[in-house]
Amino acid sequence: MAAVSVASAVESRASAPQAVAKAEAKGLSFYYGDFRALKGLDLVVHEERVTALIGPSGCGKSTFLRCFNRMHDLYPGNRYEGEIRLYPDNTNLLAPGVDPIEVRMRLSMVFQKPNPFPKSIFENVAYGLRVRGERSRRALEDKVEAALRGASLWEEVKDRLKDLAFNLSGGQQQRLCIARALATDPELLLFDEPTSALDPIATASIEELITDLKKKITILIVTHNMQQAARVSDYTAYMYLGELIEFGRTDELFIKPKNKQTEDYITGRFG
Amino acid sequence: MGATEHISKAFEADLDTTRTRVLQMGGLVEAQILAAINAYATGSAELIAQVIENDARVNGYEVAIDGACNHIVVKRQPAASDLRLIMAISKIVTDLERMGDEAEKIARMAKGIHEHGAHHAQRFPAVRHAAQIAVKMLRQSLDAFARLDAASAAEVLKEDSAIDDEFRSVLRQLITYMMEDPRTITPALEIVWVAKAVERIGDHAKNVAEQVIYIVKGTDVRHTSFADVERELSKE
Protein backbone atom coordinates (compact mmCIF):
# COMPACT_ATOMS: atom_id res chain seq x y z
CA MET A 1 0.00 0.00 0.00
CA ALA A 2 2.79 2.37 0.90
CA ALA A 3 4.52 1.71 -2.39
CA VAL A 4 1.38 2.47 -4.36
CA SER A 5 0.71 5.74 -2.55
CA VAL A 6 4.31 6.88 -2.91
CA ALA A 7 4.21 6.09 -6.61
CA SER A 8 0.95 7.95 -7.07
CA ALA A 9 2.25 10.90 -5.07
CA VAL A 10 5.32 11.10 -7.27
CA GLU A 11 3.16 10.77 -10.34
CA SER A 12 0.60 13.35 -9.26
CA ARG A 13 3.31 15.89 -8.60
CA ALA A 14 4.92 15.21 -11.96
CA SER A 15 1.64 15.52 -13.84
CA ALA A 16 0.14 18.34 -11.73
CA PRO A 17 -0.53 21.26 -14.02
CA GLN A 18 1.37 24.40 -13.26
CA ALA A 19 -0.68 26.46 -10.83
CA VAL A 20 -2.14 29.61 -12.32
CA ALA A 21 -2.43 32.83 -10.33
CA LYS A 22 -6.00 33.64 -9.30
CA ALA A 23 -5.19 36.65 -7.18
CA GLU A 24 -2.09 38.56 -6.26
CA ALA A 25 -1.21 41.08 -3.58
CA LYS A 26 1.35 43.58 -4.81
CA GLY A 27 3.09 45.84 -2.35
CA LEU A 28 0.03 45.64 -0.13
CA SER A 29 0.08 47.77 3.00
CA PHE A 30 -2.82 48.42 5.30
CA TYR A 31 -3.26 51.06 7.98
CA TYR A 32 -5.65 51.14 10.94
CA GLY A 33 -5.37 54.91 11.31
CA ASP A 34 -1.66 55.47 11.91
CA PHE A 35 -0.90 51.84 12.65
CA ARG A 36 0.60 50.00 9.72
CA ALA A 37 -0.77 46.48 10.08
CA LEU A 38 0.48 45.13 6.75
CA LYS A 39 3.86 46.13 5.43
CA GLY A 40 4.14 45.83 1.69
CA LEU A 41 3.03 42.25 1.10
CA ASP A 42 3.60 40.43 -2.18
CA LEU A 43 1.80 37.13 -2.44
CA VAL A 44 0.27 35.04 -5.20
CA VAL A 45 -2.89 33.01 -4.55
CA HIS A 46 -2.94 30.05 -6.93
CA GLU A 47 -6.11 29.04 -8.72
CA GLU A 48 -7.96 25.96 -7.45
CA ARG A 49 -5.47 25.55 -4.65
CA VAL A 50 -5.72 26.12 -0.93
CA THR A 51 -3.41 28.76 0.47
CA ALA A 52 -3.07 28.88 4.26
CA LEU A 53 -2.04 31.96 6.20
CA ILE A 54 -0.36 31.18 9.50
CA GLY A 55 1.36 33.29 12.12
CA PRO A 56 0.98 34.41 15.73
CA SER A 57 -1.91 36.62 16.84
CA GLY A 58 -1.51 40.13 15.60
CA CYS A 59 0.66 39.16 12.63
CA GLY A 60 -1.88 40.58 10.19
CA LYS A 61 -3.23 37.39 8.62
CA SER A 62 -6.90 38.22 9.26
CA THR A 63 -6.27 41.83 8.28
CA PHE A 64 -4.82 40.55 5.03
CA LEU A 65 -7.79 38.26 4.39
CA ARG A 66 -10.24 41.08 5.01
CA CYS A 67 -8.51 43.30 2.47
CA PHE A 68 -9.72 40.94 -0.25
CA ASN A 69 -13.39 41.64 0.29
CA ARG A 70 -12.82 45.24 1.36
CA MET A 71 -14.23 44.65 4.84
CA HIS A 72 -11.99 47.35 6.22
CA ASP A 73 -13.91 49.94 4.19
CA LEU A 74 -16.59 49.89 6.88
CA TYR A 75 -14.43 51.74 9.39
CA PRO A 76 -13.19 55.31 9.02
CA GLY A 77 -9.43 55.90 9.13
CA ASN A 78 -8.58 52.59 7.50
CA ARG A 79 -6.38 52.86 4.46
CA TYR A 80 -5.01 50.53 1.82
CA GLU A 81 -1.83 50.96 -0.19
CA GLY A 82 -0.72 48.78 -3.07
CA GLU A 83 -2.93 46.40 -5.02
CA ILE A 84 -4.80 43.15 -4.91
CA ARG A 85 -5.21 41.90 -8.44
CA LEU A 86 -7.92 39.40 -9.29
CA TYR A 87 -7.29 37.35 -12.42
CA PRO A 88 -7.91 36.62 -15.25
CA ASP A 89 -9.37 40.12 -15.74
CA ASN A 90 -6.60 41.78 -13.73
CA THR A 91 -8.98 43.92 -11.67
CA ASN A 92 -7.41 45.77 -8.77
CA LEU A 93 -9.86 45.07 -5.95
CA LEU A 94 -8.55 48.05 -4.02
CA ALA A 95 -8.78 50.61 -6.83
CA PRO A 96 -10.80 53.66 -5.74
CA GLY A 97 -13.23 53.24 -8.63
CA VAL A 98 -14.05 49.63 -7.75
CA ASP A 99 -17.28 49.21 -5.79
CA PRO A 100 -16.78 46.97 -2.73
CA ILE A 101 -20.19 45.43 -3.40
CA GLU A 102 -18.93 44.35 -6.83
CA VAL A 103 -15.87 42.86 -5.16
CA ARG A 104 -17.96 40.91 -2.69
CA MET A 105 -19.99 39.48 -5.55
CA ARG A 106 -16.86 37.67 -6.65
CA LEU A 107 -15.59 36.44 -3.30
CA SER A 108 -17.23 34.91 -0.26
CA MET A 109 -16.13 34.76 3.32
CA VAL A 110 -16.68 32.26 6.12
CA PHE A 111 -15.94 33.35 9.66
CA GLN A 112 -14.61 31.83 12.85
CA LYS A 113 -18.00 31.35 14.48
CA PRO A 114 -20.95 30.19 12.43
CA ASN A 115 -23.14 33.24 11.86
CA PRO A 116 -26.29 32.17 10.05
CA PHE A 117 -29.02 34.77 9.58
CA PRO A 118 -32.06 34.45 11.84
CA LYS A 119 -33.93 32.88 8.95
CA SER A 120 -34.76 29.43 7.68
CA ILE A 121 -32.07 27.13 6.31
CA PHE A 122 -33.38 27.72 2.80
CA GLU A 123 -33.46 31.49 3.13
CA ASN A 124 -29.94 31.62 4.51
CA VAL A 125 -28.60 30.09 1.33
CA ALA A 126 -31.02 31.92 -0.95
CA TYR A 127 -30.25 35.31 0.57
CA GLY A 128 -27.26 36.23 -1.58
CA LEU A 129 -29.08 35.09 -4.69
CA ARG A 130 -32.10 37.24 -3.85
CA VAL A 131 -29.85 40.22 -3.23
CA ARG A 132 -28.44 39.65 -6.69
CA GLY A 133 -31.95 39.82 -8.10
CA GLU A 134 -32.77 36.14 -8.58
CA ARG A 135 -36.57 35.91 -8.53
CA SER A 136 -37.35 32.56 -10.10
CA ARG A 137 -38.46 30.10 -7.43
CA ARG A 138 -37.21 27.21 -9.51
CA ALA A 139 -33.75 28.76 -10.01
CA LEU A 140 -33.52 29.54 -6.31
CA GLU A 141 -34.43 25.99 -5.35
CA ASP A 142 -31.90 24.53 -7.75
CA LYS A 143 -29.11 26.78 -6.60
CA VAL A 144 -29.86 26.31 -2.91
CA GLU A 145 -29.80 22.56 -3.37
CA ALA A 146 -26.53 22.73 -5.32
CA ALA A 147 -24.94 24.92 -2.66
CA LEU A 148 -26.12 22.68 0.17
CA ARG A 149 -24.80 19.67 -1.68
CA GLY A 150 -21.54 21.50 -2.28
CA ALA A 151 -21.27 22.08 1.45
CA SER A 152 -22.10 18.41 2.19
CA LEU A 153 -25.21 19.45 4.09
CA TRP A 154 -28.05 18.57 1.71
CA GLU A 155 -28.70 15.05 2.97
CA GLU A 156 -28.95 16.28 6.55
CA VAL A 157 -31.33 19.18 5.92
CA LYS A 158 -33.30 18.41 2.76
CA ASP A 159 -36.43 17.55 4.77
CA ARG A 160 -36.26 20.56 7.04
CA LEU A 161 -35.33 23.47 4.80
CA LYS A 162 -37.94 25.65 6.49
CA ASP A 163 -36.47 25.11 9.96
CA LEU A 164 -34.69 27.99 11.61
CA ALA A 165 -30.95 27.81 10.90
CA PHE A 166 -30.21 28.16 14.61
CA ASN A 167 -31.68 24.70 15.21
CA LEU A 168 -28.69 23.14 13.45
CA SER A 169 -25.59 21.97 15.33
CA GLY A 170 -22.47 24.16 15.32
CA GLY A 171 -20.79 22.11 12.61
CA GLN A 172 -23.94 22.11 10.50
CA GLN A 173 -24.32 25.87 10.96
CA GLN A 174 -20.77 26.35 9.72
CA ARG A 175 -21.45 24.18 6.68
CA LEU A 176 -24.62 26.23 6.15
CA CYS A 177 -22.45 29.36 6.13
CA ILE A 178 -20.22 27.67 3.56
CA ALA A 179 -23.31 26.81 1.48
CA ARG A 180 -24.39 30.43 1.75
CA ALA A 181 -20.95 31.46 0.54
CA LEU A 182 -21.06 28.96 -2.32
CA ALA A 183 -24.54 29.86 -3.53
CA THR A 184 -23.36 32.93 -5.38
CA ASP A 185 -20.63 31.06 -7.29
CA PRO A 186 -17.64 32.92 -5.86
CA GLU A 187 -14.25 32.82 -7.55
CA LEU A 188 -12.40 32.98 -4.27
CA LEU A 189 -13.45 31.64 -0.88
CA LEU A 190 -12.00 33.31 2.20
CA PHE A 191 -11.98 31.31 5.43
CA ASP A 192 -11.12 33.05 8.67
CA GLU A 193 -10.36 30.27 11.17
CA PRO A 194 -13.44 28.34 10.08
CA THR A 195 -13.08 25.47 12.54
CA SER A 196 -11.76 27.10 15.68
CA ALA A 197 -15.21 26.94 17.31
CA LEU A 198 -15.92 23.36 16.21
CA ASP A 199 -15.30 19.92 17.69
CA PRO A 200 -12.85 17.52 16.00
CA ILE A 201 -15.55 15.64 14.07
CA ALA A 202 -17.09 18.83 12.66
CA THR A 203 -13.58 20.11 11.97
CA ALA A 204 -12.74 16.96 10.01
CA SER A 205 -15.88 17.33 7.89
CA ILE A 206 -15.08 20.98 7.12
CA GLU A 207 -11.52 20.04 6.19
CA GLU A 208 -12.82 17.29 3.94
CA LEU A 209 -15.13 19.84 2.37
CA ILE A 210 -12.28 22.29 1.77
CA THR A 211 -10.32 19.59 -0.02
CA ASP A 212 -13.38 18.89 -2.16
CA LEU A 213 -14.14 22.54 -2.89
CA LYS A 214 -10.70 23.36 -4.19
CA LYS A 215 -11.40 21.33 -7.30
CA LYS A 216 -13.55 24.25 -8.39
CA ILE A 217 -12.73 27.25 -6.21
CA THR A 218 -9.62 29.02 -5.04
CA ILE A 219 -9.39 29.09 -1.26
CA LEU A 220 -7.52 31.32 1.14
CA ILE A 221 -7.67 30.20 4.76
CA VAL A 222 -6.44 31.76 7.98
CA THR A 223 -5.79 29.19 10.67
CA HIS A 224 -4.18 29.02 14.08
CA ASN A 225 -4.00 25.28 13.82
CA MET A 226 -0.75 24.39 12.11
CA GLN A 227 -1.67 20.78 11.60
CA GLN A 228 -4.76 22.02 9.83
CA ALA A 229 -2.66 24.19 7.53
CA ALA A 230 -0.43 21.18 6.88
CA ARG A 231 -3.45 18.96 6.18
CA VAL A 232 -5.61 21.10 3.94
CA SER A 233 -3.39 23.58 2.14
CA ASP A 234 -1.19 23.37 -0.95
CA TYR A 235 0.67 26.57 -0.15
CA THR A 236 1.41 28.20 3.17
CA ALA A 237 2.35 31.76 3.99
CA TYR A 238 3.94 32.54 7.34
CA MET A 239 3.37 36.10 8.51
CA TYR A 240 4.86 38.00 11.38
CA LEU A 241 4.29 41.61 12.46
CA GLY A 242 2.57 42.53 9.21
CA GLU A 243 5.23 41.04 6.97
CA LEU A 244 5.29 37.94 4.83
CA ILE A 245 8.24 35.97 6.18
CA GLU A 246 8.00 32.87 4.05
CA PHE A 247 5.74 31.53 1.35
CA GLY A 248 6.05 28.12 -0.21
CA ARG A 249 4.59 24.71 -0.90
CA THR A 250 3.03 23.41 2.31
CA ASP A 251 4.81 20.05 2.25
CA GLU A 252 8.16 21.79 1.94
CA LEU A 253 7.48 24.55 4.43
CA PHE A 254 6.49 22.14 7.20
CA ILE A 255 9.42 19.78 6.68
CA LYS A 256 12.15 22.10 5.53
CA PRO A 257 11.33 25.77 6.05
CA LYS A 258 13.85 28.15 4.57
CA ASN A 259 13.54 30.85 7.17
CA LYS A 260 14.66 30.55 10.79
CA GLN A 261 11.63 32.52 12.01
CA THR A 262 9.27 30.13 10.23
CA GLU A 263 11.16 27.19 11.70
CA ASP A 264 10.88 28.63 15.22
CA TYR A 265 7.16 29.28 14.84
CA ILE A 266 6.13 25.92 13.44
CA THR A 267 8.28 23.99 15.89
CA GLY A 268 6.87 25.91 18.86
CA ARG A 269 9.98 27.83 19.76
CA PHE A 270 8.36 31.17 19.54
CA GLY A 271 5.37 32.80 21.23
CA MET B 1 17.92 22.19 17.11
CA GLY B 2 18.30 25.94 16.72
CA ALA B 3 19.66 28.25 19.35
CA THR B 4 16.19 28.99 20.72
CA GLU B 5 14.45 26.50 22.96
CA HIS B 6 10.91 25.22 22.69
CA ILE B 7 8.26 27.09 24.62
CA SER B 8 7.29 23.73 26.07
CA LYS B 9 10.00 22.66 28.50
CA ALA B 10 8.61 19.14 28.58
CA PHE B 11 8.99 18.84 24.79
CA GLU B 12 12.54 20.15 25.00
CA ALA B 13 13.29 17.61 27.72
CA ASP B 14 11.73 14.73 25.73
CA LEU B 15 13.86 15.55 22.70
CA ASP B 16 17.01 15.90 24.80
CA THR B 17 16.44 12.60 26.55
CA THR B 18 15.81 10.80 23.28
CA ARG B 19 18.90 12.28 21.66
CA THR B 20 21.00 11.25 24.67
CA ARG B 21 19.67 7.71 24.56
CA VAL B 22 20.60 7.40 20.88
CA LEU B 23 24.15 8.38 21.79
CA GLN B 24 24.18 5.89 24.67
CA MET B 25 22.94 3.17 22.36
CA GLY B 26 25.58 4.16 19.79
CA GLY B 27 28.27 3.94 22.47
CA LEU B 28 27.10 0.48 23.45
CA VAL B 29 27.06 -0.71 19.82
CA GLU B 30 30.57 0.65 19.29
CA ALA B 31 31.77 -1.26 22.36
CA GLN B 32 30.04 -4.40 21.06
CA ILE B 33 31.80 -4.17 17.70
CA LEU B 34 35.19 -3.61 19.33
CA ALA B 35 34.64 -6.53 21.68
CA ALA B 36 33.49 -8.76 18.81
CA ILE B 37 36.57 -7.96 16.72
CA ASN B 38 38.73 -8.59 19.76
CA ALA B 39 37.00 -11.90 20.25
CA TYR B 40 37.66 -12.72 16.59
CA ALA B 41 41.37 -11.92 17.01
CA THR B 42 41.84 -13.69 20.33
CA GLY B 43 39.07 -16.28 20.53
CA SER B 44 38.36 -15.19 24.10
CA ALA B 45 35.36 -17.20 25.29
CA GLU B 46 34.63 -14.55 27.87
CA LEU B 47 34.39 -11.76 25.26
CA ILE B 48 32.26 -13.93 22.99
CA ALA B 49 29.80 -14.61 25.78
CA GLN B 50 29.77 -10.96 26.74
CA VAL B 51 28.95 -9.73 23.22
CA ILE B 52 26.17 -12.27 22.83
CA GLU B 53 24.70 -11.36 26.18
CA ASN B 54 24.89 -7.61 25.63
CA ASP B 55 23.00 -7.75 22.35
CA ALA B 56 19.78 -7.90 24.36
CA ARG B 57 20.64 -4.48 25.79
CA VAL B 58 21.09 -3.08 22.28
CA ASN B 59 17.68 -4.45 21.31
CA GLY B 60 16.18 -2.94 24.44
CA TYR B 61 17.48 0.50 23.45
CA GLU B 62 15.97 0.19 20.00
CA VAL B 63 12.51 -0.63 21.32
CA ALA B 64 12.65 2.06 24.02
CA ILE B 65 13.84 4.83 21.69
CA ASP B 66 11.30 3.93 19.04
CA GLY B 67 8.61 4.05 21.70
CA ALA B 68 9.83 7.48 22.80
CA CYS B 69 9.66 8.69 19.17
CA ASN B 70 6.07 7.48 18.90
CA HIS B 71 5.17 9.34 22.06
CA ILE B 72 6.74 12.54 20.80
CA VAL B 73 4.88 12.28 17.50
CA VAL B 74 1.54 11.66 19.14
CA LYS B 75 1.96 14.30 21.83
CA ARG B 76 3.76 17.06 19.95
CA GLN B 77 3.12 16.63 16.24
CA PRO B 78 6.68 17.79 15.55
CA ALA B 79 7.38 19.87 12.45
CA ALA B 80 10.43 20.97 10.45
CA SER B 81 13.76 20.16 12.16
CA ASP B 82 11.98 18.43 15.07
CA LEU B 83 10.11 16.21 12.65
CA ARG B 84 13.29 15.42 10.74
CA LEU B 85 15.10 14.63 13.99
CA ILE B 86 12.42 12.20 15.17
CA MET B 87 12.03 10.47 11.81
CA ALA B 88 15.81 10.19 11.48
CA ILE B 89 16.25 8.83 15.01
CA SER B 90 13.70 6.15 14.30
CA LYS B 91 15.81 5.04 11.31
CA ILE B 92 19.15 5.49 13.08
CA VAL B 93 18.19 3.13 15.90
CA THR B 94 17.28 0.47 13.34
CA ASP B 95 20.75 0.78 11.82
CA LEU B 96 22.39 0.71 15.25
CA GLU B 97 20.44 -2.37 16.21
CA ARG B 98 21.53 -4.12 13.01
CA MET B 99 25.14 -3.20 13.70
CA GLY B 100 24.63 -4.82 17.09
CA ASP B 101 23.38 -7.97 15.33
CA GLU B 102 26.45 -7.98 13.09
CA ALA B 103 28.68 -7.71 16.17
CA GLU B 104 26.91 -10.66 17.70
CA LYS B 105 27.33 -12.58 14.45
CA ILE B 106 31.09 -11.88 14.46
CA ALA B 107 31.34 -13.11 18.05
CA ARG B 108 29.55 -16.35 17.17
CA MET B 109 31.79 -16.86 14.11
CA ALA B 110 34.88 -16.19 16.24
CA LYS B 111 34.04 -19.24 18.30
CA GLY B 112 33.90 -21.53 15.24
CA ILE B 113 37.01 -20.06 13.64
CA HIS B 114 39.11 -20.50 16.77
CA GLU B 115 37.92 -24.08 17.18
CA HIS B 116 39.84 -24.73 13.94
CA GLY B 117 42.94 -23.03 15.33
CA ALA B 118 43.88 -19.45 16.28
CA HIS B 119 46.24 -19.00 13.31
CA HIS B 120 43.38 -18.72 10.76
CA ALA B 121 42.07 -15.45 12.14
CA GLN B 122 45.53 -13.96 12.45
CA ARG B 123 46.34 -14.54 8.81
CA PHE B 124 43.95 -11.89 7.56
CA PRO B 125 44.78 -8.50 9.06
CA ALA B 126 42.61 -6.79 6.42
CA VAL B 127 39.51 -7.96 8.33
CA ARG B 128 40.65 -6.15 11.44
CA HIS B 129 41.69 -3.16 9.40
CA ALA B 130 38.25 -2.94 7.81
CA ALA B 131 36.71 -3.24 11.27
CA GLN B 132 38.79 -0.31 12.47
CA ILE B 133 37.48 1.80 9.59
CA ALA B 134 33.91 0.69 10.35
CA VAL B 135 34.23 1.64 14.00
CA LYS B 136 35.75 4.97 13.06
CA MET B 137 32.83 5.61 10.69
CA LEU B 138 30.32 4.78 13.40
CA ARG B 139 32.09 7.02 15.91
CA GLN B 140 32.20 9.89 13.47
CA SER B 141 28.51 9.51 12.52
CA LEU B 142 27.52 9.56 16.17
CA ASP B 143 29.72 12.55 16.78
CA ALA B 144 28.16 14.31 13.79
CA PHE B 145 24.73 13.43 15.20
CA ALA B 146 25.62 14.89 18.60
CA ARG B 147 26.97 18.10 17.09
CA LEU B 148 24.56 18.23 14.12
CA ASP B 149 27.53 18.53 11.83
CA ALA B 150 26.58 17.74 8.22
CA ALA B 151 30.11 18.23 6.86
CA SER B 152 31.53 15.66 9.25
CA ALA B 153 28.69 13.26 8.36
CA ALA B 154 29.54 13.66 4.68
CA GLU B 155 33.13 12.54 5.34
CA VAL B 156 31.74 9.26 6.67
CA LEU B 157 30.09 8.58 3.32
CA LYS B 158 33.46 8.79 1.64
CA GLU B 159 34.99 6.19 3.98
CA ASP B 160 32.58 3.45 2.99
CA SER B 161 34.39 2.60 -0.23
CA ALA B 162 37.59 1.93 1.75
CA ILE B 163 35.78 -0.86 3.63
CA ASP B 164 34.42 -2.28 0.39
CA ASP B 165 37.98 -2.37 -0.99
CA GLU B 166 39.22 -4.20 2.11
CA PHE B 167 36.37 -6.66 1.82
CA ARG B 168 37.25 -7.50 -1.79
CA SER B 169 40.88 -7.88 -0.86
CA VAL B 170 40.01 -10.29 1.99
CA LEU B 171 37.88 -12.32 -0.40
CA ARG B 172 40.76 -12.66 -2.88
CA GLN B 173 43.14 -13.74 -0.14
CA LEU B 174 40.66 -16.26 1.22
CA ILE B 175 40.06 -17.81 -2.18
CA THR B 176 43.79 -18.37 -2.59
CA TYR B 177 43.96 -19.73 0.98
CA MET B 178 41.21 -22.23 0.31
CA MET B 179 42.68 -23.33 -3.01
CA GLU B 180 46.04 -23.99 -1.40
CA ASP B 181 44.57 -26.25 1.26
CA PRO B 182 40.97 -27.48 1.15
CA ARG B 183 41.08 -28.24 4.90
CA THR B 184 40.90 -24.48 5.48
CA ILE B 185 37.55 -24.17 3.70
CA THR B 186 35.38 -24.33 6.82
CA PRO B 187 37.24 -21.67 8.84
CA ALA B 188 37.81 -19.57 5.70
CA LEU B 189 34.09 -19.47 4.98
CA GLU B 190 33.50 -18.32 8.51
CA ILE B 191 36.06 -15.57 8.03
CA VAL B 192 34.14 -14.51 4.91
CA TRP B 193 31.07 -14.11 7.10
CA VAL B 194 33.04 -12.02 9.57
CA ALA B 195 34.36 -9.80 6.76
CA LYS B 196 30.85 -9.49 5.36
CA ALA B 197 29.53 -8.48 8.80
CA VAL B 198 32.21 -5.79 9.02
CA GLU B 199 31.29 -4.56 5.58
CA ARG B 200 27.63 -4.36 6.64
CA ILE B 201 28.57 -2.39 9.75
CA GLY B 202 30.20 0.15 7.45
CA ASP B 203 27.00 0.35 5.39
CA HIS B 204 24.91 0.97 8.51
CA ALA B 205 27.33 3.64 9.74
CA LYS B 206 26.94 5.30 6.36
CA ASN B 207 23.14 5.19 6.75
CA VAL B 208 23.44 6.90 10.12
CA ALA B 209 25.58 9.62 8.56
CA GLU B 210 22.99 10.11 5.80
CA GLN B 211 20.30 10.60 8.42
CA VAL B 212 22.44 13.23 10.15
CA ILE B 213 22.63 15.14 6.86
CA TYR B 214 18.85 14.85 6.56
CA ILE B 215 18.35 16.26 10.05
CA VAL B 216 20.65 19.20 9.47
CA LYS B 217 19.97 20.03 5.83
CA GLY B 218 16.53 18.58 5.24
CA THR B 219 17.84 16.81 2.14
CA ASP B 220 17.48 13.09 1.71
CA VAL B 221 20.87 11.94 0.41
CA ARG B 222 20.20 8.22 0.38
CA HIS B 223 20.99 6.60 -2.97
CA THR B 224 22.84 9.73 -4.04
CA SER B 225 26.35 9.91 -5.43
CA PHE B 226 28.98 11.44 -3.20
CA ALA B 227 29.55 14.27 -5.69
CA ASP B 228 25.84 15.17 -5.53
CA VAL B 229 25.92 15.08 -1.73
CA GLU B 230 28.85 17.46 -1.69
CA ARG B 231 27.09 19.79 -4.12
CA GLU B 232 23.99 19.74 -1.91
CA LEU B 233 26.01 20.52 1.20
CA SER B 234 27.77 23.44 -0.40
CA LYS B 235 24.36 25.12 -0.90
CA GLU B 236 23.33 27.43 1.88
What ipTM was reported for this prediction?
A: 0.81
* Residue range B97-123, pLDDT digits in tens: 999 999 999 999 999 899 888 788 888
Decide if domain B9-234 falls under CATH 3.40.50.720: no
pLDDT at A15: 46
Selecting from A226, A267, A270 the residue whose C-beta is nearest the C-beta of B81 gives A267
Enumerate the domain spans of chain B: 9-234
Enumerate the domain spans of chain A: 18-115+188-266
Instruction: Tell me the pLDDT band of B236, cut-offs 50, 70 and 90.
Output: low
* Residue range B122-154, pLDDT digits in tens: 888 889 999 999 999 999 999 999 999 999 999
* Residue range A139-194, pLDDT digits in tens: 999 999 999 999 999 999 999 999 999 999 999 999 999 999 999 999 999 999 99
Cβ-Cβ pairs closer than 8 A, A with B, add up to 45
Q: In this predicted structure, which of A123-127, A267-271, B36-40, B49-53 has the lowest mean pLDDT?
A: A267-271
Residue type, A131: V
Whether the full predicted model's pTM is greater than 0.90, yes or no, is no
Chain A residues within 8 A of B82 when measuring between CB atoms: 267
Quick one: closest CA in A to B10, which residue? A268
Which CATH architecture best describes the domain A18-115+188-266?
3-Layer(aba) Sandwich (3.40)
Q: Rounded mean pLDDT of A115-138?
A: 94
Give the distance from residue A114's alpha carbon to the nearest chain B alpha carbon, in angstroms.
28
Quick one: closest CA in A to B85, which residue? A255
Selecting from B6, B84, B219 the residue whose C-beta is nearest the C-beta of A268 gives B6
Does the structure show a pLDDT above 60 at A210? Answer: yes
Instruction: Tell me the pLDDT band of A14, cut-offs 50, 70 and 90.
Output: very low
| Average pLDDT score over chain A | 91
Chain A residues within 8 A of B78 when measuring between CB atoms: 267
Q: Helix-strand-coil percent breakdown of chain A, rounded to 5?
A: 40, 25, 35
Contact B4 A264 (CB under 8 A): yes
Contact A269 B218 (CB under 8 A): no
- Helix boundaries (H) for B43-79: 45-76
Give the distance from residue B219's alpha carbon to the nearest chain A alpha carbon, in angstroms.
8
Selecting from B6, B76, B218 the residue whose C-beta is nearest the C-beta of A269 gives B6
Q: SS in 3 state form for B1-38? A: CCCCCCCCHHHHHHHHHHHHHHHHHHHHHHHHHHHHHH
| Average pLDDT score over chain B | 93
Chain A residues within 8 A of B11 when measuring between CB atoms: 268
Identify which of B205, B191, B234, B216 has the alpha carbon closest to the alpha carbon of residue B1.
B216
Q: Is residue B5 within 8 angstroms of chain A, CB to CB?
A: yes
Contact A269 B81 (CB under 8 A): no
| Residues in a beta bridge with A123 | none
Residue type, A185: D
